Structure 1
Amino acid sequence: MPSAARTGVARRLVELPPHQIPAAENWFTFGSRTPRAARRASSVCLVQDGAHGVETLLSYRPGESPLGSVAFPGGSVEAGDRAEYKWFGPNLSQWSKRMDVLDQQLVRAHLVCAIRELFEETGILLAGTEEQSVVEMSDPEEWMSAREAIAGQDLAFEEFLLRRGLGLRTDLLRPVSHWLSPNFAFRRFDTWYFTATVPVHQEPRLLRAKGKWAQWCSSEQVMAQRATSALGDRIGQPSTAGLRLSQITSPAVEQMLERMASAHGAVAYLSRARNLDVQHPDLLVRDGTYYLEVLSALGVESTRPWQAEPGH
């Protein structure tokens, strides 16, 4: 329910997913108190052009993740994400300015986490041997084994890259938005979302034995059916079937899908300049129904591209 269009602020009430209702009830019953600490996290939305506009890779995430049952690839920042990595693209100072985060080590951790999680969950690797190269997926089975070892923490992502002489292609990422989980949540994330395209000679593939569902979805079609259970029924999991979009994903994902649907192609979506102020949904209850109130500035996206000089 967007409103306040003339004030430059969009206000939307998003119905709470069923698995979050117990935490909301607890918050109201016992009164507001100090929120639980939020874990740092990163997520990457892959985009491509399709017959019906911009498509993105959505996946099903088992359990009651704060990122939503249906989300983009991503996860929590790990200790190894703060290590020194061979690096191509904008340097940390430039990334720090772009994200408006003074702690450059934290900036690096979020970027490394984004690339690592994307590789673990989809097999897409934003890395190369030099500034203009991107590694090719020549042996899918070898990559799958490496992904399983990295996900199981039997192999450090840093070591995997070093063995192959690879550096991170951070220039292939664009920051999209920054979200902090609402205060009432039992599990809270401070998440940076990025976007990228799939490099040539790579294709996404679910992590063996862990992946349940992932598909390229038309953002336009998902938005057109957002008030129905079409996507949840297509996924067909107990926690998605019969539920509307807002009940199976997070406001962050839904907002990004909305903006993809309005973009004139994947390149246009990638090149938009964005307001990256943190968005922090608030909990409301009306007539016994719980909602998340999301406030965001209107007109914050334009077609002005982000340009940064490469550096190490």
Structure 2
Amino acid sequence: MNAPPSAQPVEPSPAATVLLVRDDPDRAGLQVFLQRRVTGMAFAGGMTVFPGGGVSGDDIPDPARWRGPQPGWFGERLAQPVDLAAALVTAAVRETFEECGVLLASRPGAEPGALDAATALRAELVGRRATLPGLLAEQDLELRADLLLPWARWITPPANPRRYDTAFLVARVPDGQIADDATTEAVEARWWTPAEALAGFDAGDLELMAPTRRTLQELGRHDTAAAVLDAAARRDIDPITPEVRREGRVATITLPGVPDWRHEETRA
């Protein structure tokens, strides 16, 4: 008897993740903003992650309120269609504002800074009573695509029941803005050096997914936020689909073309 045909892989949903970086205000060194997600969430529950999330149907930018490289440039860097690239950048800005209060937008001709109505606008966005393009128009703000640079593109392996095609973009936190922990999706959110986060993982104090760990290792090669942005501008971005081998509850994850790298996760 022939074996039944294998199920078709789930189509990955588009998503955006933001590597929010800064220079440590107390000493020289690079820091990145991370959130420990609430245990029991449908995706990455209990994991420590960068801010981000899925693309919404409302993430359609107004070209008149877009400052910086055009969507086609992001599309070329990420090997994505122009419309999807525009949505990915918009989702990145929206998720960063929703999850940590940092808004990569500004008045025309001005630089980003503290916004008096930020708390109320954020609540409207989180409560789905407003869209980011709508808020930008209402507040006379421009989406600052020039503050974001593509870093990587990760695609969940085909065997996973929940899959994402995620654009990783990097941005320096604007002067006058503070990343916070005022989100219901995380139990902890703060600035870490890449080395601190990786040491926490090695000690068993933090749970990191393979893309997060690999990205922290890459960020850890740089000493300052400026160095990270310079590296991002020069990176070649090829989509990464990890390979997974499962033995019982342990999943061993490897990366094509990186023979010495492996990551283990214990599944429930």
TM-score (norm 2): 0.84
- 1:214 is aligned to 2:192: no
1:153-302 correspondence to structure 2 within 5 Å: 153-207=128-182, 209-230=184-205, 232=206, 248-272=207-231, 273-285=234-246, 289-296=250-257
In structure 1, stretches of 5+ residues that fail to align are 1-29, 233-247, 299-312
Q: Is 1:99 aligned to 2:73, yes or no?
A: no
Residue 12 of structure 2 corresponds to 38
Q: What amino acid maps onto 1:107 in structure 2?
A: A
Give 1:47's match in structure 2, choosing from 8, 18, 21: 21
C-alpha contact 2:55 2:88 (8 A) present in aligned 1: yes
**C-alpha distance in 1 between matches for 2:51 and 2:171:** 12
In structure 1, C-alpha distance between the alignment counterparts of 2:46 and 2:155, rounded to whole Å: 13
Which amino acid counterpart does residue 67 of structure 2 have in structure 1? F
Query: Counterpart of 1:72?
Result: 50
Instruction: Measure, in 2, the Cα distance between the counterparts of 1:88 and 1:162.
Output: 14
- 1:287 to partner: Cα distance: 7.8
- Supply the distance in 2 between the matched residues of 1:209 and 1:193 (Cα, whole angstroms): 22
Measured after TM superposition, the shift of residue 296 of structure 1 is 4.2
Q: Do the aligned partners of residues 289 and 73 (structure 1) sit closer, same or farther apart at CA in structure 2, a change above 3 Å counting?
A: closer
Read off the aligned partner of 2:215 and give its amino acid letter: M
Offset of residue 226 of structure 1: 3.3
How far did residue 285 of structure 1 move? Answer: 3.1
Q: For residues 212 and 283 of structure 1, what CA distance do their matches in structure 2 show?
A: 29
Residue 297 of structure 1: how far off its partner (Å): 5.9
- Opposite residue 175 of structure 1, the aligned amino acid is P
Pair 1:95–1:144, CA change in 2 (3 A): same
Which whole-Å CA distance do the structure 2 matches of 1:42 and 1:119 have between them?
13
Alpha-carbon distance change, 31 to 269 in structure 1, aligned in 2, over 3 angstroms: farther
The share of aligned pairs that are identical, in percent, is: 26
d(CA) in 2 for partners of 1:138 and 1:167?
A: 13
Task: Return the alpha-carbon distance in structure 2 between the equivalents of residues 212 and 66 of structure 1.
Answer: 13
Q: Given that residues 98 and 183 in structure 2 are in contact (C-alpha distance below 8 angstroms), is that contact kept between their aligned partners in structure 1?
A: no
1:209 CA drift (Å): 4.7
Distance in 1 of aligned mates of 2:37 and 2:183: 14
SS in 1 for 2:201: coil
1:34/1:54 CA distance change after superposition, 3 Å: same
* Shift, 1:194, TM fit: 0.5
Shift of 1:39: 0.9
Aligned residue pair count: 249
Counterpart contact for 2:10–2:162, Cα < 8 Å: yes
Contact map agreement 1:280 1:294 (CA 8 A) in 2: yes
Give the superposition deviation at 1:31: 8.5
1:136 and 2:126 matched:
no
Q: Which moved more, 1:160-169 or 1:51-60?
A: 51-60
Deviation, 1:225, is 4.3
- Cα distance in 1 between the residues matched to 2:228 and 2:5: 41
Structure 2 residues not aligned, in runs of 5+:
260-268
- Once residues 274 and 176 of structure 1 are traced to their aligned partners in structure 2, the CA distance between those partners, rounded to angstroms, is 7
Distance 1:68 1:170, change over 3 A: farther
Cα 1:74–1:208 shift into 2, 3 Å: closer
Shift of 1:283: 1.6
Distance in 1 of aligned mates of 2:174 and 2:248 = 49
SS across alignment from 1:81: coil
| Equivalent of 2:99 in 121, 126, 134 | 121
- Matched position secondary structure for 1:252: helix
Moved more, 172-181 or 202-211: 202-211
Give per-residue Cα distances to partners, 1:179-220, cap 9 Å, x unaligned: 011122221111001011111111112335554210101112
TM-score (norm 1): 0.73
